[in-house]
A = this chain, B = another copy of it.
Amino acid sequence: MKDLESLSASQAARALARREIKATDLLLSCLDRIGHRESLVKAWSSLGKENALARARELDKGSIKGILHGLPIGVKDLFDTYDLPTSYGSPIYANNYPASDAVSVALMRQAGGIILGKTISTEFATFKPPVTHNPHHLKHTPGGSSSGSAAAVADFMVPLATGSQTAGSIIRPASYCGVVGYKPSFGKVMLAGVKALSPSLDTLGCFGRSVGDVALGVAAMSNDLSLAEIDQLHNKPRVAICKTKDWSFASKETAGALALARFTAEAIAKGMVQDISLPAACKDLTLLQTRIMSFEMARALIFERMRFSKKLSPQLSQQLSEGVQIPYEQYQKDLMKAQAARFAIAQLFENEVDFLIAPSAPGEAPLAKEGTGNPVFCRGWTLSGLPCINLNVSSGPNGLPVGVQLIAGPGKDRFLLSAARAFAQALPDAVLRDQA
């Protein structure tokens, strides 16, 4: 019964379903780990210890409730929870107790998950650096905006935690913290009950320490339980590397990670793993995502701008003021271009490739004082609505993790999970293969 907190979510879920371990013991192990580490890492905005223990005892006595039976879960503090305060990372909502759970949270509870606490989000899931530290090196950022979720999972405080991505808020912190992050297809998980930032882009997903973990998490969050069963890859997939138009932002360690990923993919791919460029309709993806997000967040946060402008950070206030200036006509044009780009990408996946490998971040996690890192390598993929999974493949000059993201065609989440598992199994390092 020792070290239960080091079990991955899928290992723990299996042991819980077979009654080999108790939900109470797993929870106590996680709480013990949090007790030792939280003062350093600062991943949590609140913990619901008593409620979680009561729920664990109930689950240990009753029947198996679902695929997350007895699993402790961290919920990004952007998701409403009826029994825990929900601040959206802002002092405006310091005392906010929502009347209900976000749909995705309620679905995780229905599947037997135990909401252990809320993990720290940046201010409304934007860019102001949070108090959370990268557990691998405390002076570095865990990334954002799902800072606490990525750090808590990386630090073995909890096996599974939710996240949201509007620019790069799942894939980037997953890369910085060396965990598996899964941003499913746009619309896969209902947004209701999660604070809106940019509704054309906001996408919910989760963090775990293996592909099986994030499959479990999104299966429960979306109620698509078929995702929890990862198929073997039946055929060798067509794989390509996509450095993207933003390649100039990539550091040496990101270039190295991509080279290693290419080498790894060659073991499972059909034919050569070649470089690919996105179709011409996609040339402005990063710019379009940035401007659409800017436009929408200035409207989505209108209530806070009108009533609590002094409680917004100067950085966010500035961004919102810029967003307000974007004319509606520009926004409409951008949405139409985005739709054309999505269509072109769908054709690419139809005709040329089964999955892409692309950088997750410019490099290893920067120093915390420099911010939460640049989401440039995620913006376009978020706008495209494609499912993405970050896997840890190497490390940077400070020994911090560096990941790559695997990207499949629109709606091809089940295939992506299969491909990610096969890819992880092919990684040259035994420790990294644990991510499978």
Bound together, the chains give a CA A1 to CA B73 distance in angstroms of 61
Number of copies of this protein chain within its complex? 2
Assess whether B190 is in contact with A299, with CB atoms less than 8 Å apart.
Answer: yes
Assess whether A303 is in contact with B196, with CB atoms less than 8 Å apart.
Answer: no
Q: Which of B93, B100, B196, B328 contacts A226 (CB 8 A)?
A: B328
A107 contacts partner chain B, Cβ-Cβ < 8 Å: yes
A99 contacts partner chain B, Cβ-Cβ < 8 Å: yes
> Among residues 192 to 232 in chain A, which have CB atoms less than 8 Å away from a CB atom of chain B?
192-193, 195-196, 199-200, 222-226
> Among residues 379 to 436 in chain A, which have CB atoms less than 8 Å away from a CB atom of chain B?
411
Q: A304 with B100: in contact, given A191-B199, A192-B196 (CB under 8 Å)?
A: yes
Assess whether B303 is in contact with A100, with CB atoms less than 8 Å apart.
Answer: yes
Q: Which of B110, B192, B303 contacts A199 (CB 8 A)?
A: B192
Bound together, the chains give a CA A242 to CA B96 distance in angstroms of 49
> Among residues 107 to 121 in chain A, which have CB atoms less than 8 Å away from a CB atom of chain B?
107, 109-110
Q: Which residues of B contact A100 (CB under 8 A)?
A: 303-304
Q: Which residues of B contact A107 (CB under 8 A)?
A: 299, 302
Q: Which residues of B contact A106 (CB under 8 A)?
A: 302-303, 306
Bound together, the chains give a CA A267 to CA B321 distance in angstroms of 47
A82 contacts partner chain B, Cβ-Cβ < 8 Å: yes
Per-residue CB contact flags for chain A residues 339-378 toward chain B (1 = under 8 Å, else 0) read: 0000000000000000000000000000000000000000
> Among residues 173 to 203 in chain A, which have CB atoms less than 8 Å away from a CB atom of chain B?
187, 190-193, 195-196, 199-200
Most B CB contacts (10 A, CB to CB) among A99, A296, A303, A329 go to A303
Per-residue CB contact flags for chain A residues 261-284 toward chain B (1 = under 8 Å, else 0) read: 000000000000000000000000
> Among residues 84 to 127 in chain A, which have CB atoms less than 8 Å away from a CB atom of chain B?
93, 96, 98-101, 103, 106-107, 109-110
Q: Which of B191, B306, B328 contacts A110 (CB 8 A)?
A: B306
Q: A300 with B192: in contact, given A96-B99, A328-B223, A328-B224 (CB under 8 Å)?
A: yes
Assess whether B82 is in contact with A303, with CB atoms less than 8 Å apart.
Answer: yes
Assess whether B103 is in contact with A299, with CB atoms less than 8 Å apart.
Answer: yes
Q: Which of B190, B299, B302 contacts A196 (CB 8 A)?
A: B190
Most B CB contacts (10 A, CB to CB) among A109, A187, A223, A304 go to A223
Closest residue to A222 on the B side, CB-wise? B328
Closest approach, in angstroms, between the C-beta of A322 and any C-beta of chain B? 15
Assess whether A299 is in contact with B226, with CB atoms less than 8 Å apart.
Answer: no
Most B CB contacts (10 A, CB to CB) among A106, A226, A306 go to A106
Q: What are the 5 A-B residue pairs with the smallest beta carbon separation, nearest first? A: A192-B196, A106-B303, A106-B302, A224-B328, A100-B303
9 contacts between A and B (CB under 8 A): A98-B99, A106-B306, A109-B306, A187-B199, A190-B199, A190-B299, A192-B195, A223-B328, A332-B411
